[in-house]
Structure 1
Amino acid sequence: MRKLLLIALTAISTQAIAQVTNDGKMKIFVDALMKKMTLDEKIGQLNLPGAGDITTGQASNSNIAGQIREGKVGGLFNIKSVEKIRDVQRVAVEQSRLKIPLIFGMDVIHGYQTVFPIPLGLSCTWDMQAIERSARIAAIEASADGINWTFSPMVDISRDPRWGRVSEGNGEDPFLASAIAKAMVQGYQGKDLGAANTIMSCVKHYALYGAAEAGRDYNTTDMSRMRMYNDYFPPYKAAVDAGVGSVMASFNEVDGIPATANKWLMTDVLRKQWGFKGFVVTDYTGINEMVDHGLGNLQTVSSLALKAGIDMDMVGEGFLTTLKKSLQEGKVTLAQIDAACRRILEAKYKLGLFADPYRYCNEQRSKTEIFTTAPRNEARKIAAESFVLLKNQANTLPIRKSGTIALIGPLADAKENMPGTWSVAADFSKAIPVLQGLKEVAGDKAKILYAKGSNLVADSTYEKNATMFGKTLHRDQRSNEEMLREALAVANQSDVIVAALGESSEMSGESSSRTELGIPDVQQQLLKELLKTGKPVVLVLFTGRPLTLEWEEKNVPAILNVWFGGSEAGYAVADVLFGDVNPSGKLTATFPRNVGQVPIYYAHKNTGRPLAEGKWFEKFRSNYLDVPNDPLYPFGFGLSYSQFTYSDIKLSAASFRPGQSITASVTLTNNSKVAGKEVVQLYIRDLVGSVTRPVKELKGFEKVELKAGESRTVSFTINAETLKFYNYDLKYVAEPGDFNVFIGGNSRDVKEASFKLQ
């Protein structure tokens, strides 16, 4: 026994020694370099400008080249291609005094040129291996094109679909979002950040950005610290625990102080409580914007940011232009500047840039590892897995590869919109629209007819604002009536109608908040007219957020939510429509009945006057006069072409003590003739606490694939760690008492049992 213990300790010690040795080498290197640096060069490392209009072969003459030569730039972002990045890096390492390499960042959010579903769609796979693979492929492609740093993952919890950036996150639940944060960081950074095909991850937006008031981007956020720790902090901490290399500060304020100047947030929580060792970068002009927040002039807010724990200033040049003066006036210290500079240099060391500044500039990789067949096939597979079947009356889906299919709608042949928002490296000309996907997957077995049917919206200005960054829908100048007549003529020739409707890709994303969340006006009219034909209608819904679909739920036979599926979206849509892939996506954000229910989420608190289950309205209870409290589609919801049933829950014991555990099990059965996947979800309710607790909290999930007629037992382990939460004193505790456990296919339709923590 002693011998085994010594072997184990030796293995641990060897690993620890290796890490200490690497850290020691890095410290010696950075110490020596910083002794050579002037104050201006140290401050220069904290400056992150945008790349501007640098072109291949012109880097030495670009507007920013002079600053790079003078050591006043730490990195650049939004520049891509090996040729351009090599040219710029050459200026840094061959023409500056100390030859310090630059770090190159980009918004690689859900893929590089091979684009995966938008993050909200990715989260609906509930498949951590698939999500990690998507990030791994993105890292391989981006690093092959010169990029070594990505501003991803975005893990902001959001419970307000008016906020456009819900499309960039993982929905409303901290448990699921934490698992995704870990998977994404591991996918980007791999096991060795020094490998040339990994990139440094940057978790964002720290913190609470998804809780902006009124769902309006960049707006104020205010909440209790207990809510921060229990509901909004966990995904950021999960990314830190996974070893994320950098963190991006959010635009909003936290406790009345903008995050970019919030020392409690950036130093006390992030570094002291969570042990984060990397560097913190602002969001775009985040320091400058604190002037409008009312914290002072540029010099004042820049000093506040540095003292709070910000290391790198994106675009604003507040650090570059004011820190030297602030140091002279005693408003900041040299130790604070040195600490920020050290963190930037350490990141570059970990990326291997000091060993080889051109390690990401391999022309051969750029020619052979970007947008290749295998990653595109993976993107197609993952996209199909992200789609959520919301309704399927009378088995309208899947449709047959036969007869005549009418494909109608402004999103039917809109290749530029398929990659979705924040697909900055995508080649839109290579994206697969639904029309192409249906034709190629059906082949000569079915006839596909197409009509646009309507524009995105009636208002041309609104459409222009919702189709930016090359995402045009090629607005049709014909009248609504003329387009509708054409669509109905096509529909009347068909056996089934596929209506490709919803948002354009830029109707969600940054600065794309909406107060009305329905399918836009002219598309609604088109859909109603298509239903009047009496033909079966399948609504293929494009969206970057939960929409209000109460009318559609009542009237449309089948609804398939396809989010924005990425570069292979059209193929993936066809795969699911024709039944080549059985849909298995589950919602990670609650769909409201109308905007008046917002914010709406499953893990809400009870009130002192809760409405009785199954009731709509009762006077002097917490409810609405006009609609039920319940959402249209609950968190975790999603149908399949298979039919799954759950047995009652079996508990291994009725109670347990700290240090022990129990097992909760159900038997899942596929009662259909079609193989399929089901996401089995575990929820727990703490019935009595020292503070009020949510009515349900996700605490486990497993994606299970069953053949037709197959059954399988699915088990979850529950221990004291499962039951922990932050109490009023912000202590992480599991309180003894009674609990309910729920298992089912969504947060609403569950089996229930009870246990006790002694």
Structure 2
Amino acid sequence: MDTFILLVRDPELVKRIGAATALEVRATGIHYVYAPCVAVCRDPRWGRCYESYSEDPKLVQDMTEIIPGLQGDVPDNLPKGVPFITGKEKVIGCAKHYVGDGGTIDGIDEHNTVIDRDELMKIHMPGYFSSISKGVATIMVSYSSWNGVKMHAHHDLITGFLKNTLHFKGFVISDFEGLDRITSPPHANITYSIEAGVSAGIDMFMVPKLYTEFIDDLTMLVKKEYIPISRIDDAVRRILLVKFMMGIFENPFADYSLVRYLGIQENPDIEFVKSNGFSYAIVVVGEHPYAEMHGDSMNLTIADSGPETITNVCGAIECVVIIISGRPVVIEPYVGLIDALVAGWLPGSEGQGVADVLFGDYGFTGKLPRTWFKTVDQLPMNVGDPHYDPLFPFGFGLSTKPTTKGFYFS
């Protein structure tokens, strides 16, 4: 069986993607994107594993090259930790989710990452080192906890390490309603949560529903000196620095000259029939649709009818199986039936990226950014672990050249 991976480890390509994204976002009048996610997914059962570039901290660091694409290249003389955004064609970036969101027990979303400080620094922090060095303007805090302490209330890691040790000068933003989730159940004591979050060092808060309650309670906490005015000054200073760097006050509205960049596609149509027929069946399987907070899976099985389709079709004719998923899924029981396996990940609406390599216009060059397990009983399992015994190891993938035959497998 041949196994092909579509994901390409190309920092320069990622930078160009960031630049293209910035253009389209600015054309809509929006100045801010919540990207990149520099989570290191250590367990594919996590429902947000698809947001992570890799289980490998070094690869995640490499992919932070999207930041200069979004914000612009940092000048050599910029002081350490100072955010940098340049020009009307760039946007404010946001490294997230600080920190350890990809290392929770059993991959349970918003749960607890149990790990010592050395391992936290070694595995989950490098993406932030690189992001800060590239001038990222903002950092978003994770819903998750580190050794039982909610990150939204973690003064040591937000103020102590991020701001004081790493000298990050941009602003720290909460996740959506992240304050509410400091307590269990959520919103059980919002006054306490506001004090905890602000005191921890968060500068901007996403409180879309109860923002008047937030303003009233925060005002009261400052008046009664539970929160010093210096903490408010610090938050305001950081937010204004990013806004001034962005040029929002000089250019607050959409630049309609950028509208020409919206939705540009040189070749919008995908030509699926490029040869005089072929003897392979193409089977597309994958996961059920899901979004953040709703994708945790303890079994990581292919969606219903997928296994049956593989068994029936690949048992009768040579076949190419394309897996559309946000993470590795259980495929080991079927590999003996499959002639070629393509990990397509989540191509979204741009299916042409899959078609181009499948039909031989371009060669396969991608390598696995995470370990493909044999069974879920092995999890968590990451490259370098003593019990490492994968179906396909980290970095695996076949390289091919373009073919003139019209269909790569014909």
TM-score (norm 1): 0.49
Question: Which segments of 5 or more consecutive residues in structure 2 lack a partner in the other structure?
Answer: 74-83, 405-410
- 1:301 & 1:510 partners in 2: Cα distance? 21
Q: What residue in structure 2 maps to residue 330 of structure 1?
A: 225
Q: Percent identity?
A: 30
Q: How many residues in Structure 1 have an aligned counterpart in Structure 2?
A: 387
CA distance in 2 between counterparts of 1:508 and 1:334 reads 39
> Following superposition of structure 1 onto structure 2, how do residues 582-661 of structure 1 map, counting pairs within 5 Å?
582-604=363-385, 606=386, 630-641=389-400
Structure 1 residue aligned with 2:12: 129
1:365 is aligned with what amino acid? L
Partner of 2:66: 184
Note the C-alpha offset of 1:295: 10
Deviation, structure 1 residue 290: 1.1
Structure possessing the higher radius of gyration over alpha carbons: 1
Equivalent residue, structure 1, for 2:284: 500
Aligned to 2:46: 163
1:578 to 352, 359, 372: 359
Deviations 1:26-84 (A, max 9, x none): xxxxxxxxxxxxxxxxxxxxxxxxxxxxxxxxxxxxxxxxxxxxxxxxxxxxxxxxxxx
CA contact (8 A) 2:287 2:301 kept: no
CA contact (8 A) 2:92 2:246 kept: yes
Residue 81 of structure 2 is matched in structure 1 by none
Deviation of residue 130 (structure 1)?
A: 0.6
Q: 1:602 is matched by which residue type in structure 2?
A: V
Q: Deviation of residue 275 (structure 1)?
A: 1.0
Give the residue type in structure 1 aligned to 2:273: A
* Contact 2:140-2:172 within 8 A present in 1 as well: yes
Q: Distance in 1 between matches of 2:273 and 2:193?
A: 59
Q: 1:354 aligns with which of 246, 249, 255?
A: 249
What is the CA deviation profile of residues 354-380 of structure 1, one whole-angstrom value per residue up to 9, with x for unaligned ones? 12322xx122322x1111135xx6xxx
Classify the secondary structure of the residue corresponding to 1:235: helix
User: How many Å separate the matches in 2 of 1:282 and 1:446?
Assistant: 55
- Equivalent residue runs for 1:180-579 within 5 Å: 180-181=63-64, 183-191=65-73, 193-292=85-184, 297-315=189-207, 317=211, 319-358=214-253, 361-366=254-259, 368-374=260-266, 437=270, 440-443=271-274, 445-446=275-276, 495-504=279-288, 506-507=289-290, 509-533=292-316, 535-569=317-351, 571-579=352-360
* Contact kept in structure 2, 1:249 and 1:259, CA below 8 Å: yes
The answer to which structure, 1 or 2, has the higher relative contact order (CA under 8 A, 6+ apart) is 2
Superimposed CA distance per residue, residues 233-259 of structure 1 (whole angstroms, 9 cap, x where no aligned partner)? 101121011110000000011233211
Secondary structure in 1 aligned to 2:48? helix
CA distance in 1, matches of 2:324, 2:371: 16
The answer for the alignment partner of 1:476 in structure 2 is none
Say if 1:167 and 1:509, in contact at 8 Å, map to a contact too.
Answer: no
Whole-angstrom CA distance in 1 between matches of 2:146 and 2:280: 52
Once the two structures are TM-superposed, the CA of residue 578 in structure 1 deviates from its matched residue by 1.8
Note the C-alpha offset of 1:328: 2.3
CA shift, 1:508, in A, is 6.0
- For 2:150 and 2:273, locate their aligned partners in 1 and report how far apart those are by CA, in whole Å: 54
Query: What corresponds to 2:407 in structure 1?
Result: none
Q: Tell me how far apart the structure 1 counterparts of residues 293 and 394 of structure 2 sit (CA, whole Å).
A: 23
Q: Is the 8 A contact 1:132 1:187 kept in 2?
A: yes
C-alpha displacement of 1:296: 6.8
Alignment of 1:59-70 (within 5 A): none
Q: Is the 8 A contact 1:258 1:293 kept in 2?
A: no
3-state SS of the aligned residue for 2:357?
Answer: helix
C-alpha displacement of 1:539:
0.4
CA deviation string 1:677-729 (max 9, x = no partner): xxxxxxxxxxxxxxxxxxxxxxxxxxxxxxxxxxxxxxxxxxxxxxxxxxxxx
Match of 1:442, SS? coil
Structure-2 separation of matches of 1:293 and 1:589: 34
Q: For the residues of structure 2 that align with 1:549 and 1:558, how far apart are their CA atoms? A: 12
Per the normalisation by structure 2, the TM-score is 0.89
Q: Is the 8 A contact 1:507 1:544 kept in 2?
A: no
Task: State the AA in 1 paired with 2:19.
Answer: R
Q: For 1:639 and 1:510, how far apart are their aligned partners in 2?
A: 33
